[in-house]
Chain A
Amino acid sequence: MRILPAAERRPSTGLSGTKAWRVTSKTRQAFTAWMFIAPAGVIIAIFVFWTLFESLKTSFTDDSGFGSANWVGLANYAQLLSDPRFLNALANTLVYAAVVVPVSIVIALGLAVLLNRPNLPFRGFFRVAVFLPFVTSLGISSMAWWAMLNPHAGIIPAWFEIFGLSLGNGIQDPSLAMLFVMIVGVWRDVGFFMVMYLGGLQSIPKELRESAQIDGAGPWKSFWSITWPLLANTTMFVGIMALVFAFQAFDQIYIMTGGGPFFRTETLVLYIFSTAVERYQLGYASAISWVLVLLVFVVSLFQVGYFSKRTVQY
């Protein structure tokens, strides 16, 4: 580092030095900033922005991966309306999200409140146990779930039998398959949301709850009138994450059921995968993708609107 003579040194906290630097080298600063952004920017420009633009374009063509594609306008989108497999996948996606999102949020918040008790023994162990599924591969743990539900070798049907209950074909039962992939989805993500809620809970000043207690509020009352409103920001964030995770659910469904039995667990992402990767209907697959984008976008907007009206500052 070059040492300046004392006379040229400027006070480090004073505004004069900073200001001079800003005025004299504004272009240089902009140039430096873009140099810092460029490497990541180029990657994102090519592999995110450009592909998004391409996918929108492809959704208006009959691209099938071979030869040239023709512009077909909105034909793909029109076809979706009368495609029973698409409507089924859309319904499955909505059902999956409508169950998994609120259930994950309630369980995560419940666990966070339990673990937030002061001086709770084994707290670190519980936190790690619940968070562990989020850390490991869902593709791999889904194979364990799939095996645990196997009618011959699985531990879960065997335990049910002890109580005289039968799970039948387990994961291949059309009426149970969706329930199982939902349970595994919740199992994986709840730890992640719980940790966010723990962060939110710890940011609430202790005095608030203490003063409520002194005013005679029970634990239930103080939760609803203090904790829950003050967690609105966390709930909004967790809600959007849960929604995006639910709409993108793939690994456990692909491994455990492959979308079956009888398309009962086929969601939009699985349908996109099979349309594009297995049947090469690239134009049609892109149109389904953009329906998914629209869906995520609209539901997120609703969530943000709902919670921003209820946000409380302290």
Chain B
Amino acid sequence: MTAITVPAVDYATQATRKARRQRLVTTVVVIVMFAISAFFLLPFAWMLTASVRTEGSLLADPATLWPTVFTLDNYSEIWRRIPFGRQLGNTVVFAGVVTVVSVTLNSMAGYALARFDFRGKNVAFLVLILTLMVPIEVTFVPLYNIISNFGWIDTYQGLIVPRMASAFGIFLMRQFFIALPKDLEDAARIDGASEIRIFLRIMWPLAKPAVLTLGMFSLLRNWNDLLWPLMVITRQDMLTLPPGLAMFKGDNLTEFGLLMAGSVVALIPMVVAFLFVQRSFIEGVATTGMK
């Protein structure tokens, strides 16, 4: 009897010791991760509280995140001080149109590169990869020249048209389409479906996760862009929000509350959009770097 019970007790203590150590490690990791998350979220928290405080309370007590004097005046004042509503509208038009058009054009091109056999395909793909490596700043000067020759400075088309396709988008969609099985489209072809019909009815619906990821990327990039609108737009009422608010910072160095109220309004749509598609977007990003 003893010969059996001794090792049994031993295994049991070993197992509980291991489980206890595991729990301890997990607790430590959770605490560390909460501290790190606090650091990452601090600017957002600060923005939010600064936007509902009065200037006086902020300057008197800068060490706290808790507003002692609560006010929503900043949120109403911001619309009067700069063409905020107009700039918000510009941002929606710019980011929205670019996202819809570029996702469509990029997936068409990516689809062709992934699923068709034709001469020049490899060359086209190679050239695409090379353009991925070039910093876009290089093209600034001639890009500005083209836009100004077209008479597109301070226009929506000047902002939108150059962004309607991107090497990154085509690359992302190609990587997705190339992994789909060939049988599907062959079956449809034999049944006499046209290429456009195959793309629209069979392949496009299957590409939904990739389309969502690319759409989110495109929305974020354009909604958040600072430099591009700064180059193409000179008039305040044609600017998008990031450069619009940046100019506001230059003019009124000390009005933190106003600046932060504008920032909160500008950030909320992207945060909400991200939280909605969070799971599939993060998965889409994760698979980009795997192989």
Cβ-defined partner of B290 (8 Å) among A114, A121, A200: A200
**B:246-271 near A, CB below 8 Å:** 246, 249, 254, 256, 259-260, 263, 266-267, 270-271
Cβ-defined partner of A248 (8 Å) among B59, B135, B230, B254: B135
* Contact of B62 with A154 in the complex, beta carbons under 8 Å: yes
Please give me the residue from chain A that is nearest to B102 by CB atom.
A40
* Contact of A37 with B288 in the complex, beta carbons under 8 Å: no
Contact residues in A for B143 (Cβ distance below 8 Å): 47, 51
* Contact of A1 with B259 in the complex, beta carbons under 8 Å: no
* Contact of A114 with B138 in the complex, beta carbons under 8 Å: no
* Contact of A135 with B260 in the complex, beta carbons under 8 Å: no
A36 to B108, CA, bound (A): 5
* Contact of A34 with B118 in the complex, beta carbons under 8 Å: yes
Please give me the residue from chain A that is nearest to B185 by CB atom.
A18
Chain A CB within 8 A of B29 CB = yes
* Contact of A37 with B286 in the complex, beta carbons under 8 Å: no
Contact residues in B for A241 (Cβ distance below 8 Å): 289
Report the minimum CB–CB distance from B253 to chain A (whole Å). Answer: 9
Report the minimum CB–CB distance from B11 to chain A (whole Å). Answer: 16
Chain A CB within 8 A of B153 CB = no
Cβ-defined partner of B109 (8 Å) among A10, A36, A195, A197: A36
- The answer to whether residues A55 and B142 also contact, given A40-B170, A196-B288 and a CB cut-off of 8 A, is yes
Chain B CB within 8 A of A130 CB = yes
Stretch at the interface among A73-81, A96-104, A173-181, A283-291: A283-291
Contact residues in A for B41 (Cβ distance below 8 Å): 129, 132
- The answer to whether residues A43 and B162 also contact, given A36-B112, A48-B131, A136-B270 and a CB cut-off of 8 A, is yes
Chain A CB within 8 A of B6 CB = no
Q: B interface, how many residues as a size bin?
A: 35 or more
* Contact of A13 with B183 in the complex, beta carbons under 8 Å: yes
Contact residues in B for A276 (Cβ distance below 8 Å): 140-141, 144
- The answer to whether residues A1 and B263 also contact, given A51-B143, A55-B142, A276-B140 and a CB cut-off of 8 A, is no
Chain A CB within 8 A of B47 CB = yes
Cβ-defined partner of A198 (8 Å) among B62, B223, B286: B286
* Contact of A140 with B245 in the complex, beta carbons under 8 Å: yes
Residue of B59, B183, B283, B285 most packed against chain A (CB within 10 A): B285
Please give me the residue from chain A that is nearest to B268 by CB atom.
A136
Please give me the residue from chain A that is nearest to B145 by CB atom.
A54
- The answer to whether residues A289 and B286 also contact, given A136-B271, A140-B263, A143-B263 and a CB cut-off of 8 A, is no
Chain B CB within 8 A of A58 CB = yes
Report the minimum CB–CB distance from B107 to chain A (whole Å). Answer: 9
* Contact of A147 with B256 in the complex, beta carbons under 8 Å: yes
Contact residues in A for B141 (Cβ distance below 8 Å): 54-55, 58, 63, 276, 282, 285-286, 289
* Contact of B286 with A33 in the complex, beta carbons under 8 Å: no
Interface string of B1-29 (1 = CB under 8 A from A): 00000000000000000000000011001
How many residues of chain A have a CB within 8 Å of chain B? Answer: 114
Contact residues in B for A30 (Cβ distance below 8 Å): 116, 118-119
A198 to B109, CA, bound (A): 29
Please give me the residue from chain B that is nearest to A297 by CB atom.
B133
Main SS class of interface, A: helix
Contact residues in B for A168 (Cβ distance below 8 Å): none
* Contact of B117 with A29 in the complex, beta carbons under 8 Å: yes
Interface string of B184-200 (1 = CB under 8 A from A): 00110111110100010
A33 to B124, CA, bound (A): 12
**B:271-285 near A, CB below 8 Å:** 271, 274-275, 278, 282-283, 285
* Contact of A44 with B246 in the complex, beta carbons under 8 Å: no
* Contact of A135 with B111 in the complex, beta carbons under 8 Å: no
* Contact of B59 with A153 in the complex, beta carbons under 8 Å: yes
Report the minimum CB–CB distance from B87 to chain A (whole Å). Answer: 12
Stretch at the interface among A84-92, A220-228, A232-240: A232-240
Apart from A33-B112, A37-B112, A46-B146, list 19 A-B contacts with CB within 8 A: A4-B192, A18-B186, A36-B111, A39-B109, A40-B165, A40-B170, A129-B37, A130-B40, A137-B224, A139-B242, A143-B259, A144-B47, A144-B50, A150-B256, A155-B64, A272-B137, A273-B227, A282-B145, A292-B135
User: Which 6 pairs show the lowest CB-CB distances between chains A and B?
Assistant: A199-B286, A196-B289, A139-B226, A137-B224, A158-B63, A54-B142
23 contacts between A and B (CB under 8 A): A12-B187, A21-B186, A30-B116, A36-B108, A39-B105, A41-B109, A43-B105, A51-B143, A52-B138, A119-B26, A122-B33, A126-B33, A129-B40, A137-B224, A137-B267, A140-B241, A144-B263, A147-B46, A199-B288, A248-B135, A248-B136, A255-B249, A277-B231
